[in-house]
Amino acid sequence: MEHMTMHKLTRKDLMSLENYSEQRSEFRTRVLEHKKHRRVDVGPNLTLYFEDRLTIQYQVQEMLRIEKIFESAGIEEELSAYNPLIPDGSNLKCTAMLEFADVDVRRDRLAQLVGIEHLVWLQVEGHDKVFAISNEDLERSTDEKTSAVHFMRFELTDPMKQSLRSGAGLFFGSEHAGYPYTTEVPTATQNALLNDLE
């Protein structure tokens, strides 16, 4: 358990509202640069945005700023909501977004894609597929439609991590009949995600 707590954010990791307002544009630039190699497009409408300590710190700082939260109880509440989204060395965690420009198309497609959040997978070349464990914090879908946003966790075994470090390919895909796509992860993205598997 020791290993897991190391990676969680604490109040000591956060800037005060005042410091954050001074450093925000610089910090934001750094985070956006960092995020560039942390997204994977699966087909035309599903994007996986992989979270880590830095992306979550940014989200927490932004929440505190928007809500003007500076009391310790409020800060702790945000930390306990966001800390579970930080990978802990054996997994990759992402925010999955189903994006459709047209509102009507979006409504129809979300109805057609019920259950997709349980059918998104990761595969390390030479190993079995690993299906996403989705929305552990709360149920986001109904029997009629899936949500446009899901939180996903992919658990990797040690042999999978070894293979990735040795240069095996990494793939993501969806087995949903209404959304059958597979994508190979580019090297820069794979290298960024490997940092989550320390």
How confident is the model at residue 2, as a pLDDT?
37
* Pick from 139, 148, 138, 149: nearest CA to 108: 148
Q: pLDDT per residue over 144-159, tens digit each?
A: 888 899 999 999 999 9
Tell me the domains of the chain and their CATH numbers: 1-36+53-86 (no CATH), 38-51+88-198 (2.60.40)
pLDDT, tens only, 48-71: 999 999 999 999 999 999 999 999
Give 59: exposed, middle or buried? Use CB within 10 Å, 0-12, 13-18, 19+: middle
Rg over CA atoms, the chain: 18
- Which percentage of the chain shows pLDDT scores above 70? 94
Angle value at C-alpha 52, between 51 and 54, nearest 5 degrees? 115
Q: What is the pLDDT of the chain when averaged over all its residues?
A: 92
**CA–CA gap between residue 27 and residue 25 (Å, rounded):** 5
- Write out the two tokens for 163: 């293979």
Condensed to tens digits (0 to 9), the pLDDT of residues 74-124 reads: 999 999 999 999 999 999 999 999 999 999 999 999 999 999 999 999 999
